[in-house]
Structure 1
Amino acid sequence: MGQSKLYLEDHFPSPVKHTWIEFRRNHVSIIGLWIFLFFVAVIVFAPGIAPFSPTEQNTDVILLQPAWDNSGTIVHLFGTDSLGRDVLSRVIHGSRVTFGISILIVLIAMLVGFSLGAFAGMGHGLRASVLNHLLDAIMVIPTLIIAIIIVAIFGTGLTSCMWAITLSMIPKFIHLTRDLVRNACHMEYVTAARLDGASNTRILFDSILPNMIEPLVVNGTFALSVAILELSALGFLNLGAQAPTAELGAMLSDGLEVAYIAPWNIALPGAAILLMLIAVNLVGDGLRTALRNRLQQ
């Protein structure tokens, strides 16, 4: 016999759980999440998934057709490139490099941008004013132009490309954090914390930061799509990853030389980039919609 309850309490989910409930109502965003998790799995398990080494050359199977062509073979499912390297293995490792480094770029940019943005939002006086005006000036310049300028100064290479994109993204996160902190400083819960004698650091981490996590995550997902595009663009311009490193943008650049006779060399890396961007943007749009619906209830 079940136990009776004298008091019936309404169950209110936590903000994170409520956001997840709203997010999973959007079936398109769930598909994007599954694609996103697939690429995360590629980052973790790429060495075990790839059938060949991405740099292994075989001159006996140069420009071999994909397996679905009559002259193809199941051994090289996506065919080979102009040096006899397995395209499937290079796409897997290229996705690992492009997607993994893009995530790392966004995490570093968010961390630095949050630190400087919090200082600009809570600070007063000449230092905060100079930082705000300098930030507004930098925001006018497209991030890809900033990245190209930084690569031109420090030289080509995957590491230089990574830091160039990171430095170009930091101002956007500073601007976002500054606006969020300034708006939060006028809220009643922050005023109550000040009246209790809380320091600025405690107010930031105990009162303001918990309400900033979701907007930062949403904007971080859209920044991830920008990082993927910029990393691929710099690789395509031969300013990023250098041979023989497998990176999707560099693979597109290499495939242009044989595009007419071996179109799969550019179609497959391009499809991987497209799927990444679709997944990231679907997840970001789903998070933004879920957050808006949660706040309206």
Structure 2
Amino acid sequence: MNTRLLQRFAAHPAALPALFGLAVILLFALLGQALSPFNPVLADPHAQLLPPMWQPGGVSAHPLGTDDLGRDMLSRLLHGARLTMGSATLAMLLALAIGVVLGSIAALSRGLVELLLKRLMDVLLAFPSLLLAILLALVLGSGMTVSVIAVAVALVPHFFRASHDGLHEELGKDYVAAAKLDGAGATSLYLQTLLPNIAAPIVVRITLAFSTAVLDIAALGFLGLGAAAPIPEWGNLLASAHDFIQVAPWTVTLPGLAILLTVLCANLVGDALRDAVNPRGANP
């Protein structure tokens, strides 16, 4: 991204606060194991449903309280950040690789191959990403690995469209014809000329896909199709605590806020990048 693009990104009112917030959340995810004061799966029958330390009955040893089994909420949230965001990142990267490769093949090959790939992606795009991920998880089974694969497959069409449409637009420009006349090979033309020029819309898609992946991973965990108890994944934390929403609301509110803030920051960063890439508001 060039200097002007970065300036337009920084000029967005929510860009820098959202980027800072996302960086802090990612830092907590990376350092969660080192920062956790307790074992996230170790139950303590003498500390069940302790409220956060700022509420009556709270203790400083458990600043965010405990759940129904006496497990420290701060430790579980920190470990959950690593699991949820790590799984979302893995799913997003897998979808990025597959989507860009298929989109490039379709745009460069044309003909029947392009038609078949476009129709396949149109079918997948007809389903909301979460619904498609749920259907795939039901077919493949439950578990973190399956949820990553299901979410990745649901995100592939978005990267396919970004790369395919971007390459189609670039292939019609004069500099591509000039590069061919200069003797540029197909591989060098793609890697050195075309791919860098479609990088900006793909980066925008990465941020938006990451927020979708976080939400979908958590949703699969909440529905019992992702991480299984006692793994402290954010969606699984919500599922195991919904029965205590009235007696211990912090057990539901805290993981819900973690998901909300992560998705909100990622979406705001994505919106700012989209506005920077397309100042007039055109879709990437």
- Tell me the TM-score normalized by structure 2: 0.95
Q: Verify the 8 A CA contact 1:22 1:294 in the aligned structure 2.
A: no
Equivalent position SS for 1:164? helix
* Equivalent AA in structure 1 for residue 123 of structure 2: A
Q: Give the alignment of 1:164-203 within 5 angstroms.
A: 164-203=150-189
Max Rg structure? 1
Deviates more, 1:116-125 or 1:143-152: 143-152
- Counterpart of 2:190 in structure 1 is 204
Structure 1, unmatched stretches of 5+, are: 1-14
Deviates more, 1:173-182 or 1:264-273: 173-182
Given candidates 28, 34, 57, the residue that maps to 2:43 is 57
Distance in 1 of aligned mates of 2:78 and 2:208: 23
Distance in 1 of aligned mates of 2:232 and 2:63: 17
- Counterpart of 2:259 in structure 1 is 273
Q: Verify the 8 A CA contact 1:18 1:294 in the aligned structure 2.
A: no
Distance in 2 of aligned mates of 1:145 and 1:139: 11
Moved over 6 A (4+): none
Distance in 1 of aligned mates of 2:147 and 2:71: 25
Same amino acid, percent of matched pairs: 36
Structure 2, unmatched stretches of 5+, are: none
State the Cα distance separating 1:233 from its structure 2 match. 0.7
State the Cα distance separating 1:119 from its structure 2 match. 0.3
Distance in 2 of aligned mates of 1:22 and 1:125: 38
Q: CA RMSD in A?
A: 1.7
Q: Verify the 8 A CA contact 1:39 1:99 in the aligned structure 2.
A: no
Corresponding position: 1:253 with 2:232: no
Q: Verify the 8 A CA contact 2:87 2:144 in the aligned structure 1.
A: no
Deviates more, 1:230-239 or 1:281-290: 281-290
* Equivalent AA in structure 2 for residue 188 of structure 1: D
- Tell me the TM-score normalized by structure 1: 0.91
* Equivalent AA in structure 1 for residue 260 of structure 2: L
Q: Pick closer, same or farther for the CA change 1:194–1:295 going to 2, 3 Å.
A: farther
Deviates more, 1:284-293 or 1:81-90: 284-293
Distance in 1 of aligned mates of 2:95 and 2:277: 22
Q: Give the alignment of 1:11-90 within 5 angstroms.
A: 15-90=1-76
* Equivalent AA in structure 2 for residue 77 of structure 1: P
Q: Give the alignment of 1:218-297 within 5 angstroms.
A: 218-293=204-279
Q: Give the alignment of 1:104-143 within 5 angstroms.
A: 104-143=90-129
- Counterpart of 1:145 in structure 2 is 131
Q: Give CA deviations for 1:241-290 in whole Å, capped at 9, x if unaligned.
A: 10111111110111111111000000000010111011101111111122
Q: Pick closer, same or farther for the CA change 1:241–1:295 going to 2, 3 Å.
A: closer
* Equivalent AA in structure 2 for residue 250 of structure 1: N
- Counterpart of 1:9 in structure 2 is none
* Equivalent AA in structure 1 for residue 64 of structure 2: F
Equivalent position SS for 1:180? helix
Distance in 1 of aligned mates of 2:216 and 2:167: 28
Q: Pick closer, same or farther for the CA change 1:295–1:85 going to 2, 3 Å.
A: closer
Q: Verify the 8 A CA contact 2:158 2:205 in the aligned structure 1.
A: no
Equivalent position SS for 1:242? coil
Distance in 2 of aligned mates of 1:46 and 1:175: 35
Distance in 2 of aligned mates of 1:122 and 1:85: 54
The count of corresponding residues between Structure 1 and Structure 2 is: 282
